[in-house]
Structure formats: structure tokens, C-alpha cells
A and B are shown apart, each in its own frame.
Chain A
Amino acid sequence: MRIVTAVLLGVLTSTGGFLDAGSISTAASAGATFGLSLIWPIVVGTLAIILLVEMSGRLAAVSGKAYSEALRERFGFAFYLLPLSADVISNGFLLAAELGGVSIGLALLTGLDWHTVLPVSALLVFAMVWRAPFGLIEDLPSILGLSALLFVVAIVVQPPSGDILQALAPKVPGSGSAQYLYLVAAILGATMSPYLVYFYSSGAREDRWSRRSLRINRMTAVLGNGFGSLSAIGILVACSVVLQPRGITADSLSEVGLSLAAPFGQLGAIGFGLILFACCFGAALEVSLAVAYDISQGFGWEWGEEKKPVEAARFNLVLIIYIAVAFTLAFVIGDPLQLALFASALIALILPVALAPFLILMNDADYLRDQRNGVLTNLATIAVVILAFVVAAASLALLLLTGGGR
């Protein structure tokens, strides 16, 4: 019975924790601008993140090493610096976007200006990572994040019309082809975000996973991310049904909220505020912790949410500095949706550095023993790494060409 509860909780939290500012912004922009023709990158990205999350959980459960620890030990310090610096920079922008998302969610719920509540959002995130036990960090925002399934209900209430199969087909429209490809890269960056890998493998260590956790790991990775992607698809479809015909291009997160307000009225607007708050809050915790885990594990410092802050002092100092920097970025740059789109494209750019080591690590008998990748998993990993390289090359060109998608 305990294993059923653990699996259920794992699946629920992964489902609820799937969305963040990046995936909401990219899905909304895609739906509002290009209709259903950008669902395919969400599906491809979800398959990739299922694979990556499963591997990082398996690595932690069998070797007792989180991904960052294994990166430093297996590839040495000079190599470890590459994914580390890429992670720190791209996630800085993403955390700023998540803080903005939390604030807009709070603003929609309270009627206050989002700039006014931005310090409150940063303090809430800090308070949670400062003292909340890992279980609470893992479960509370994710269970609240299940409210994002309201977007799936919106599809039932207001289904897309016309020839759906034709609408689903990938296409490169003549005039907006650069923006279309930019969104493909950003969606893949947002869906395959490496912070999930760092957070998940560290979480497995916080929860003291062992070989007995391998089944929970598989089910959480497949079902949690699988169900989670439904809410991202729900946002895309809702925006394509409500916003695209009205010529609204989802330039701000408040505009995205219209896609729920149309089918559900006032309740939809409140629901969107709650969804935005819960998803971005959960992601802000995960992103800030992922970076603190990455740095502390790589340098061999004490780390962990179950310890008092003074017992993992450098880990907590990194958290404080990182949240403060992201808060400043959010305050100065503003516009969380544009920040999230930019961060997602930036993450797409660094995907190869973060993901390529999986190919070697997951075949290393010193770490995985009898749980090394099979032929099929290796082929799938090679496909994901090639995809990461293609997405990175495209993302760099398109970031320059489109000036951040606009």
C-alpha cells in the first residue's frame, strides 16, 4: 500500500509540477500565434524529458550520486564548469520569470499591481527554501499546480473547430517562419529544461532512494510528465481557440488569462491566477534549489533541505544570493512572459552541454552497475542529444535573427 501511495504522490506532483513560466509562456504564444501546429514540439519535448528524468532518477537511486556529483567526478572540474555556468546563467533569467509569474498570479488574485507584490513573491520563495522540509517543497505547490488541468477541461468546454488533423500538422508559414522556429526551440527548451534533471536527481537523494525506488522512478517519470504535458497542450489549445481568432498574440501573461476567462468567466480568471501562482511558485522553488544543488554538489559542500540552514551554510548562501539576483532581474527587466520566452530559448542553447554527458554516465558500470542503459534507451538518448544540438544551433541563430522572438 505504501508503494501505491508513493507512486500516486509522485505522479500527482510531477503532473502538477510540469508547468512553469517557460512552458506556460511558450505554449500560450504558440497557440495564440500559430494555432495547433506547435503541439508536436510539446509531445517531442515530453518524450525527451521522460527519458532524461527517468535516467537521472535511476542514476541517483543506484549510484547514490546526484547528476551534478556524477558530472564533476566522472568528467572532471574543467568540464563540469561548462554545464554549471550554462545552468547558472540561463536559470537566473528563468527564476526571474518565475518570480514575475508568481507576482502576476498574486496580482490577479488580489487586484494589486504585480510590481508591488514582487518582493512578497521573492520572500515567499525564500521562506520556503530556507526552512520548509523537502517533502513540503516537493508536494504543496505541485498539488496546487494540478489546478492547471483546468486548461484540459477548457478544451472539452470549448473544443477547437475545423479540420483538427490538418491544424495539427507542423508547418513553416512564409512570413513568420523565423518566429515559428524560434517558438519550436523555446518550447523544447522549456519542456526539456535541465533544471528538472538537477532537481529530480537531488530530490531522489533527499528522499534516500535506493534500488527499490526504481519502479516509483519509472512510473513518476512516465505518468507524471505524460499527464503534465496535457496541461501545456491545454494552454496551447485554449489560446488557439480564444486568442488567435481575436488577433490577440498573448504578449503578456494577463492576456493568456483571457483563454480561461472566455469559457469560465470570473471563475476562469481567478483559476488562471491560482494556476499561475502555483505553477510558477513550484518552479521557482525547483529552479533556485536546482542551482544551489548543482553548485554545492559540484564543489562538495554540505547540501540538503532537511538540514538546518547553518548546517549547510554555503548551500543556503547560494540560495539567498541567487534569489536576490533573480529578484533584481525581474524588477529591472519586468515583463515575465518575455523573460520566460528568452530564458527558454537560452536554455535551448545550452541543452547539449547539459544533456550530452548522460550518454557516457548511463553506460558507466561504476555508477549504474547492472542498471546501465539498454540498446533502445541508448538510441533514444542519442536521438535526444542530436535534437539538443539541432535546437541549440537553431536557437542561437533565431535569438539573433528575431531579437528574442519578436
Chain B
Amino acid sequence: MTTPGEWPGAEKGIRGALLVRDILDGQLETRDHRKVGRVADVAAVRDPDGTVRAVELRIGPEALAGRISPRLRPLVAKVLRGRFDHRIPVTEIAEVGPTIRLRGLSDDYAVGQAEDWVARHILRWIPGSGRPASSPLRERY
């Protein structure tokens, strides 16, 4: 599947288009250089003129289950009720390369807050877990 050149930085038309292969499983990194996950799937819509256009990146177990078998996806969705699934609009992509860079900071995305949740709820009880200096969200603990 190819996506016409709607990606930021890509030329219009097929010539500048990116393949789904370029972004699927790619490392997502935020503006503050935080690794927040990998692209599990790409959602696309069909425009009235028939163009298929990628709209959002999917991250999380539901999308990953669908990569193993399409039958697994509804099962995982039923069990987890989408609790750990995240979506990032493709307009948030700043740059596509070996790493996919996002425009926002890690705290701007729900998927970026997972790291923080583990730090605040689990690791904080263990001596020597440290306190990160920056990031306003982390000043809470």
C-alpha cells in the first residue's frame, strides 16, 4: 500500500510518496528526544475522489495483535477495551527517517505518558530511582 505525498516534507504526488514500510514499526521520538513507542499500524481513509490517505498512526496491543492475526484484534480489543491503545494523527509527524520525529513533547501524547506512569506509580518506591530534572509533568512527584 502506498500513501500519496501527504507526509510533511514529502513532495506532492506519487514521486515523493512514502511507503507504509517506511513508517510501520518505525521508532517514534518526540521533540524532547524521548522514545515513546513504535508504529504498530497505520490507519487510512478513502477520500470522495477515491484517494486513499493515511490519517493516523496506531500504537498499542490492539494494533499489534492485528499484525499477528486479524482474528486476534477484536479479541484483544474486547479484553483490554482499548485501554492501552493510542492514536497519533499523521499531521504530528515532523520528519520521517531512521527515526520518526513527532512535533510535540512526550507529555503531549498519551503514549508518551506511559513511561511517566510507571516511574510515578512503581519505581518511585525503590531507592535510587532518581528524579528527572526537566519535563513539567514529572515535577508532580
Contact = CB atoms under 8 A, between A and B. Distances in A.
Most buried by B among A299, A300, A301, A312: A300
B50 interface: no
Most buried by B among A131, A302, A303, A310: A310
Contacts of A78: 67-68
Contacts of B119: 309-311, 313
B128 interface: yes
Interface string A304-342: 000011111110110010000000000000000000000
A64 interface: yes
A313 B118 contact: yes
A77 B64 contact: yes
Nearest to B39: A300
A3 interface: no
A180 B24 CA distance: 46
Contact of A313 (B27, B115, B128, B131): B115
Contacts of A301: 35, 37, 115
B123 interface: yes
Given A300-B28, A309-B130, A76 B67 contact: yes
Contacts of B64: 77
A47 B131 CA distance: 45
A81 B25 contact: no
B27 A314 contact: no
Nearest to A311: B132
B78 to A, nearest CB: 20
A98 interface: no
A131 B127 CA distance: 10
Given A77-B67, A299-B37, A314 B130 contact: no
B96 interface: no
Nearest to B111: A300
A309 B123 contact: yes
Chain A residues touching B, majority SS: helix
A300 B130 CA distance: 22
A54 interface: no
Interface size class of B (residues with CB under 8 A): 20 to 34
Contacts of A310: 119, 123-124, 129-132, 138
Contact of A65 (B38, B98, B115, B132): B98
Chain B residues touching A, majority SS: mixed
A253 B38 CA distance: 43
Interface in B82-132: 98, 114-116, 118-119, 122-124, 126, 128-132
A10 to B, nearest CB: 26
Nearest to A75: B25
Contacts of B24: 76
Given A300-B38, A310-B131, A73 B123 contact: no
A300 B132 contact: no
B68 A77 contact: yes
B53 interface: no
Contacts of B115: 301-302, 311-314
A69 interface: yes
B116 A313 contact: yes
A308 B119 CA distance: 10
A131 B124 CA distance: 14
A302 B106 CA distance: 11
A300 B118 contact: no
B26 interface: yes
A72 B67 contact: no
Contacts of B131: 308, 310
Interface string A120-131: 000000000011
A311 B123 CA distance: 10
Nearest to A296: B35
Most buried by B among A76, A130, A309, A313: A313
A311 B106 CA distance: 12
A64 B98 contact: yes
B42 interface: no
Interface of A: 63-65, 69, 72-73, 76-78, 81, 130-131, 298-303, 308-314, 316-317, 320
Interface of B: 24-28, 34-38, 40, 64, 67-68, 98, 114-116, 118-119, 122-124, 126, 128-132, 138
27 contacts: A64-B98, A72-B38, A73-B25, A73-B26, A76-B24, A76-B25, A76-B67, A77-B40, A77-B68, A78-B67, A78-B68, A299-B38, A300-B36, A301-B35, A301-B37, A301-B115, A302-B34, A309-B123, A309-B129, A310-B124, A310-B129, A310-B130, A310-B131, A310-B138, A311-B119, A313-B119, A313-B122
Given A65-B98, A77-B40, A310-B138, 4 more contacts: A302-B35, A309-B119, A310-B124, A317-B123
